[in-house]
């Protein structure tokens, strides 16, 4: 599905959650990624549910990794933060980018239905998580194409 700039979408399906150190390590080891990458580091809920609060983290620190992430299968990134540098970086690499609502950790955490796999556990919340989400909303800033999962345009 083509994701058009200026519209809200909701994604349901399997995506990867990662940030800073976990992503850097996965890129170095050339681990394959899901098409959709959600930039975040969740609280690790001690009560045993999937994960805890999990809002987006700032995208600008991940810009140097965009080439590698695309080569490893990522097609659309969801994070937070927009400026001209961010938009230029995504367009030049050919990746889609959508913003989630920063600071809405509890809201996004409850969109995670199932933790499928977890890598780099020694990094704690900085590890990489493979999860199933339902109706995770984001606003498209740089258009892209997503084939896996179910992505629907929504009126918000």
Binding site for another protein (CB under 8 A): 8, 21, 40-45, 52-55, 57-60, 80-83, 87, 99, 101-107, 109-110, 122-126, 137, 139, 141, 156
Instruction: Specify the residue, 73 or 105, whose C-beta has the smaller distance to another protein.
Output: 105
Minimal distance in Å, beta carbon 140 to another protein? 10
Distance (Å, rounded) from C-alpha 46 to C-alpha 100?
A: 25
Minimal distance in Å, beta carbon 52 to another protein? 5
- Alpha carbon of residue 86 to chain centroid: 15
Q: Do 40 and 22 meet the contact criterion of CB atoms below 8 Å apart?
A: no
Instruction: Specify the residue, 1 or 82, whose C-beta has the smaller distance to another protein.
Output: 82
Instruction: Specify the residue, 126 or 132, whose C-beta has the smaller distance to another protein.
Output: 126
Centre a 10 Å sphere on the Cβ of residue 143 and count the other Cβ atoms it contains.
17
Instruction: Specify the residue, 28 or 71, whose C-beta has the smaller distance to another protein.
Output: 28
Sign, CA dihedral 114-50-63-10, equals positive
Minimal distance in Å, beta carbon 25 to another protein? 10
Minimal distance in Å, beta carbon 79 to another protein? 10
* 20 contact partners, CB below 8 Å, separation of at least 6: 41, 57, 61, 62, 126
Minimal distance in Å, beta carbon 20 to another protein? 8
Instruction: Specify the residue, 94 or 124, whose C-beta has the smaller distance to another protein.
Output: 124
Distance (Å, rounded) from C-alpha 149 to C-alpha 133?
A: 10
Of 19, 135, 119, residue with least CA distance to 69 = 19
């Amino acid at each position: 599905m083509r994701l058009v700039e200026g519209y809200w979408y909701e994604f349901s399906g399997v995506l990867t959650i990662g940030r800073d150190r976990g992503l850097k390590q996965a890129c170095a080891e050339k681990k394959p990624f899901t098409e959709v990458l959600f930039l975040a580091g969740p609280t690790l809920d001690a009560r045993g549910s999937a994960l805890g609060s999990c809002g987006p983290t700032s995208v600008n620190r991940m810009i140097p990794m965009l080439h590698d992430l695309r080569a490893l299968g990522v097609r659309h990134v969801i994070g937070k933060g927009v400026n001209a540098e961010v938009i230029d970086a995504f367009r030049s690499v050919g990746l889609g980018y959508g913003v989630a609502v920063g600071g809405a950790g509890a809201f996004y955490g409850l969109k995670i239905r199932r933790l499928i796999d977890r890598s780099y556990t020694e990094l704690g919340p900085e590890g990489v998580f493979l999860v199933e989400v339902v109706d995770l909303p984001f606003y498209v800033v740089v258009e892209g194409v997503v084939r896996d999962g179910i992505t629907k345009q929504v009126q918000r």
